[in-house]
Chains A and B, each alone.
Chain A
Amino acid sequence: MPTRPVLLVTRRLPPAIEARAARDYQARLNAEDTPRTGADVLRLAQGADAILCSPGERLDAATIGALPASIKVLGTFSVGYDHIDIAAARMRALPVVNTPDVLSVATAEIAMLLILAASRRAGEGERLLRAGKWTGWTPTQLIGTGVGGKRLGIFGMGRIGRELARMAGAFGMQVHYHNRTRLPPDQEGGVIWHDSEDSFLQVSEVLSLNAPGGDGTRRWLNADRIARLPPGAVVVNAARGTLVDDAALIAALKSGHVAFAGLDVYDGEPRLNPEYLTLENVVLLPHLGSATRQTRDAMGNLALDGIDAVLAGREPANLVR
């Protein structure tokens, strides 16, 4: 039996995935789930054939350039790859594989949950009950805003955006989107494309960010764009924290121009702008958009499929191009 290749796994993974990794590889696991830096990755990757990383590690050009020559493939346990310098990987001909598709539904569920919970003030209701401070039902207590008949603007109509559009349609929301390019008609499904950012922002009573991170979208939702949303808009972000200028969003939440927000991701997470914690009109979740057993297992299996394929000399279906 040939020696199994060596796989560095940077974080603790779901049990089924670690079992598969240990069966097929000499797997270097992280039982304590200690967070890894780029330097840690370099140290632990010595003599390895492949790496399965997570969005927690920043693999910049210097780190990628310093990886041992033995590394033949880099997998990431995520659909996003803004933590990896893809250009640097391409320079040294290192294939990168990710986990598209399999987390679209779970992530769209979190976006829909954020839309509902923010609009309906569920976080406030929860805290009122948990504090034992509920003194009775009143017709004006915790009045939120209905989602039915509202216009939902989706910024970034990829796979997750399309799943969200389907869910929101079932709530009677009218879906609009802004992308660089219009979807082909068979994928559009009755949603309304806006070529112009301005017209898109003006109709977005509820704005959901579903675009990739990275330099092209950094702080896309800034004070200027927020000002163009209708007064009393609802903003949700289950995509990347870097899409939002936190200070601008916090100011809008305080002024009421943005009535409610729901966030699963933060610029600089797991740290977040502490002012969010002082606001009642935000619902905050700790980046768990893909956190279901079924989804995480599917992500792990897809990442390992890609790594297996590269090491076997095949082209992986989930190659980042």
Chain B
Amino acid sequence: MKPRLIVSRQIPPEVAARVRADFDCPWPDGRDMTADEAVAALAETNADALLLTSHLKFGADMIARLPASVKIAATCSVGFEHIDVAAARARGLPVTNTPDVLTDCTADMTLLLILAACRRAHEYEAIMRAGWRQGFGLGEMLGLKVSGKRLGILGLGRIGQAVAQRARGFGMRVLYHNPRRLPPEQEQGAEYFPTFAAMLPHCDVLSLHARSGPDTAGIMNADRFALLPKGAVFVNAARGNLVDEDALLAALTSGHLFAAGLDVFHNEPAFDLRFAALKNVFLVPHMGSATVETRTAMGMRALDNIAAVLSGRPPIDPLWR
């Protein structure tokens, strides 16, 4: 008998095909469910596993209401702010995420944001969509050349290192700050700064790749923006809560920053609409992992975790041990 699975969000076709083949699931393509609907579906089908994404608040109250049949909950995301890991642990429920598989895709998005912000892609696209019709003087509408600039990375982890590798293709000099210095094979020539503040004055471009948590919430505040050189470019494809958005808006409006590229916001999807009024920002709606290849890989990884636990093996990507 196949294990019973509830998929609480639409999933890519290849992942759905595997769900059909390997699981007993009433809606193998996934169905967008609220927490109440998911709990009801799990109870009704006496399900063994739940596949969720960050849309579902998997808090202590929901975990308490799960039927006893549920042996694993796998989130199709690298972030797990929506999961109360302590409550899952207290109940002995394995919870897993999907690290690694979105590294390349997120790093690509980061470089897209750097290029788009430096080369004024929002303004250029808006000119075109309005019909263009007029040439520019050779000194007009100029952007910043990315190649040869200094790129500061906060958080040289997996994604940060993938960003650094791409940046070297543009001849960028990579600087970084981590709590601890990395071994040379991971540094790949990047210059280490023991404090974040010491790195900021040297960053022509700054990209955040830090984990979100109490120690990093609002880490980019007015003081830190002020430490960047005038005309710097700021990008964030990590987490919106790393940034004090009032301070970012002020730095963009005053011209202290040349431009910014943002994939994440403090409030998503109800992001601060003051950003939408600015010309010198490039904005995308949390699309860091939005490729067919990556979303499929994330779904497969979540299913790998579910299959492992249901066959009595340890989860591959446990959020608690």
A contact set with B: CB distance below 8 Å: 11-15, 17, 33, 35, 54, 56, 77, 105-106, 109-110, 112-113, 116-117, 119-123, 125-130, 132, 134-148, 166-172, 269-272, 274, 277, 283-288, 291-296, 299-300
Contacts and interface: CB of A to CB of B under 8 A. Distances in A.
Given A109-B147, A143-B290, A291-B142, A171 B169 contact: yes
A88 B224 CA distance: 59
Contact of A129 (B124, B285, B292): B285
Contact of A291 (B108, B112, B141): B141
B145 A138 contact: no
Given A122-B282, A143-B290, 6 more contacts: A33-B137, A129-B271, A139-B9, A146-B105, A272-B128, A291-B120
A121 B170 contact: no
A272 B143 contact: no
A152 to B, nearest CB: 13
A137 B285 contact: yes
Contact of B295 (A120, A126, A139, A169): A139
A110 B112 CA distance: 10
Contacts of B115: 109, 112-113, 116
Contact of A125 (B140, B167, B171, B284): B284
A270 B132 contact: yes
B54, B111, B120 — which one has the most chain A CB atoms within 10 A of its CB? B111
B119 interface: yes
B146 A170 contact: no
Contacts of B129: 127, 277, 284
Contacts of B109: 116, 120
Contact of A137 (B108, B273, B276, B286): B286
B116 A146 contact: no
27 contacts: A11-B137, A12-B139, A35-B135, A106-B147, A125-B287, A126-B125, A127-B129, A129-B283, A129-B285, A130-B276, A132-B276, A137-B54, A138-B32, A139-B10, A142-B290, A145-B292, A145-B293, A146-B291, A148-B104, A148-B293, A171-B108, A270-B134, A285-B121, A286-B124, A295-B145, A296-B142, A299-B138
Contacts, number: 219
A258 to B, nearest CB: 16
A146 B143 contact: no
What bracket does the count of chain B residues touching chain A fall in? 35 or more
A134 to B, nearest CB: 4
Contacts of B167: 170
Contacts of B291: 119-120, 143-146
A33, A105, A170 — which one has the most chain B CB atoms within 10 A of its CB? A170
B55 A137 contact: yes
Nearest to B115: A113
B111 A171 contact: yes
A121 to B, nearest CB: 7
B167 to A, nearest CB: 8
B249 to A, nearest CB: 15
A129 B143 contact: no
Contacts of A270: 132-135
- Main SS at interface, chain B: loop
Interface string B278-321: 00001111110011111100010000000000000000000000
A283 B169 contact: no
A139 B285 contact: no
B19 interface: no
Contacts of A145: 291-293
B182 interface: no
B229 interface: no
Contact of A146 (B104, B271, B299): B104
B50 interface: no
Nearest to B53: A139
A166 B167 CA distance: 11
A129 B262 CA distance: 11
A105 B149 CA distance: 13
Contacts of A170: 165-170
A288 B269 contact: no
Contacts of A127: 129
B147 to A, nearest CB: 5
A286 B127 contact: yes
B33 interface: no
Contacts of A11: 137-138
B316 to A, nearest CB: 20
B122 interface: yes
B283 to A, nearest CB: 4
A300 B290 CA distance: 41
Contact of B273 (A109, A132, A166): A132
B112 A120 contact: yes
B41 interface: no
B10 A129 contact: no
B215 interface: no
Interface in B248-277: 268-269, 271, 273, 275-276
A169 to B, nearest CB: 6
